[in-house]
Amino acid sequence: MSKPIYFTLSIITFAVLMAGFLWSGVWWLLLILVPAWLMAIQDSKQAEHSLRRNFPLLGRARWLAEFLRPFVRQYFIESETDGAPISRMFRSIVYQRAKGDLETIPYGTRLDVYEEGYEWLGHSLGAHTVKATDHSPRVEIGGPDCKQKYSASLLNISAMSYGSLSSAALMALNKGAQAGGFYHNTGEGGLSDYHLGGADVVWQIGTGYFGCRTSDGGFSAELFKEKANHPNVKMIEIKLSQGAKPGHGGILPASKNTADIARIRTVEVGTDVISPSTHREFNSPIGLLQFIQKLRELSEGKPIGFKLCVGRRSELLSICEAMVETGIKPDFITVDGGEGGTGAAPLEYTNSVGMPLQEGLAAVDDCLRGYGLREDIRIIASGKILTGFHMAKQFALGADLCNSARGMMLSLGCIQSLICHTNHCPTGVATQDPDLVKGLVVEDKWERVRRFQEETVKAFLDLISSAGMKTSDDLTRRSIYRRCGQDTIKRYDQIYTPVESGVLLGDDWPEPYLDMRASVSTERFN
């Protein structure tokens, strides 16, 4: 099959040589032909790729087509509701709000309102103007044992590590958060210099203990205490799992593990960094709470919480049971949905492991209420939150505030090229290649981050004012409707039936919790 390409190259080369005697300018074509010959010969001799071996030179077009495929699809094929994981419609609204462009749309909704799964907010004839809402809503985080309570914005930057994102991206996010008065979660990659530009920071501690790590990969109380008491660090979040790959450790490809990142994480430069799937410091619900208490003491009373993607409700019940038994409570719980994104994750985990955000939120809210713990613990929602309505849905299910990762990335200029794991991000957001990072100008992008957050919160307040509400606390499971069939409409409270406060403290557990009771244990997970 290689003969046609050699014949074609031979004819072209001969023609160029002949033409060169008539016009010397043709000789320049040899600068193309010679490399083409060399690549063709190399392709026919190599054994790694059958396509290139059988179709020298031409077989390379496949890789070019695959590289261009996301861009061609995005710019020439997608409709407003197409595009995964985030549709063009939602990418566009983020871009518009970040840039301060007109964000209204003409001619009605692009969604099929009669399609199963369509959701909406129940408005009120008693609606009021958005001016009647709290224009700078904040949520206080910190239970009875917290000495340094924190007042958080309704929408913040979700966990994204240095390594997953570039230094320029982090600096722009941090400066935007500082200007807008919302927090910046570090992700599990450690507390880098780029997180300490002035914004309020939530320092995430993952299973790798990056930034507070001993030489053998354990937890260093000394390093943690030193960094946790930095004035910019307002809260500490223990990462148990994340939505994109729950039960699987974090992944930093070797190509993105630069000397600077290795220094911050205290790992070997240029190696794949794969975090353990579980924590070394604890292996039970009681152990988790004891670790929370330890971090609270070391941080001199700052809010301590944990992040998880819900897997089994029985494990939630076990943690709540341990809270009642020990009297130790986290100050917040971050619920990450199975639809969450990440820079690198196995396909099976991204597609098929982890409870989606709505179900996870309802489960955490119900468990806390069932044990009478809800008042002291704030719930943070994270998972594909891009608009004011996305926020409203999470508040209705029990969230107190929201985090957004991909929304913030899009506001930086991310174009969803879907090559975050390759170190070739064309916009400089998710790469460590200095030639690509320089394309992200911090002084331009931080303002877009601030504006996106501000306009999205405004959109949320506008929505609830249409429903006759003044604060996020007014939203309940009765506020949101979902089409469950052509002739079936249900409110959230009919889909996610709430439990009564304290009902799980007694012996008379309601269904379906009764079936999980035998699996509840404060001494072990699973």
Q: What is the pLDDT of residues 19-56, one digit of tens each?
A: 877 777 777 787 888 888 888 888 888 877 777 777 88
Is residue 474 pLDDT above 90, yes or no?
A: yes
pLDDT, mean of residues 316-332: 97
> Domain boundary at 42, 68, 94, which?
68
The neighbouring-strand residues paired with 235 are 202
Same domain, 64 and 156: no
Cα 242 from Cα 260, distance rounded (Å):
25
> Domain boundary at 12, 36, 68, which?
68
| pLDDT for 319 | 98
The neighbouring-strand residues paired with 481 are 120, 491
| pLDDT for 521 | 94
Same domain, 58 and 164: no
Weakest mean pLDDT among 18-32, 332-346, 476-490: 18-32
Cβ contact 482:283 at 8 Å = no
Is 195 inside any structural domain?
yes
pLDDT, mean of residues 396-420: 93
Same domain, 373 and 228: yes
Q: Which helix (H) or strand (E) holds 315?
A: helix 313-326
Determine the structural domain holding residue 61 and report its residue range.
Answer: 3-68
Handedness of CA 241, 87, 72, 75 (dihedral sign): negative
Question: pTM of the predicted model, to two decimals?
Answer: 0.88
Cα 256 from Cα 246, distance rounded (Å):
22
Cα 450 from Cα 526, distance rounded (Å):
41
| pLDDT for 380 | 98
Q: What is the pLDDT of residues 200-258, one digit of tens each?
A: 999 999 999 999 999 888 999 999 999 999 999 999 999 999 877 777 777 778 888 88
> Domain boundary at 35, 68, 101, which?
68
Alpha helices in 337-470 (DSSP H): 347-352, 357-370, 388-396, 406-412, 434-437, 442-466
Is 98 inside any structural domain?
no
| pLDDT for 351 | 80
Which is it for strands 150-153 and 138-141: parallel, antiparallel or unpaired? antiparallel
Same domain, 239 and 331: yes
The neighbouring-strand residues paired with 490 are 482
Is residue 149 pLDDT above 80, yes or no?
A: yes
Is 189 inside any structural domain?
yes
Q: What is the pLDDT of residues 266-286, one digit of tens each?
A: 888 888 888 888 999 999 999
Structure tokens at 404: 């957004």
Q: Which residue has the higher pLDDT, 398 or 11?
A: 398
Terminal C-alpha separation, the chain? 57
Q: What is the pLDDT of residues 12-23, one digit of tens each?
A: 887 877 887 777
Is 499 inside any structural domain?
yes
| pLDDT for 10 | 82
Q: Enumerate residues 6+ apart whose C-beta is below 8 A from 253.
A: 272, 344, 421, 423
DSSP assignment of 398-431, as one string?
Answer: T-SEEEESHHHHHHHT----S-GGGT--TTSSS-
CATH number, residue 394:
3.20.20.70
The neighbouring-strand residues paired with 252 are 273
Calculate the CA 18 to chain-centre distance.
60
Cβ contact 389:342 at 8 Å = no
What is the share, in percent, of the chain residues with pLDDT greater than 70? 95
Q: Which residue has the higher pLDDT, 41 or 132?
A: 41
Same domain, 307 and 396: yes
Same domain, 51 and 188: no
Cβ contact 491:481 at 8 Å = yes
Q: What is the pLDDT of residues 171-182, one digit of tens each?
A: 999 999 999 999
Same domain, 167 and 22: no
Cβ contact 496:362 at 8 Å = yes
Q: Which residue has the higher pLDDT, 359 or 265?
A: 359
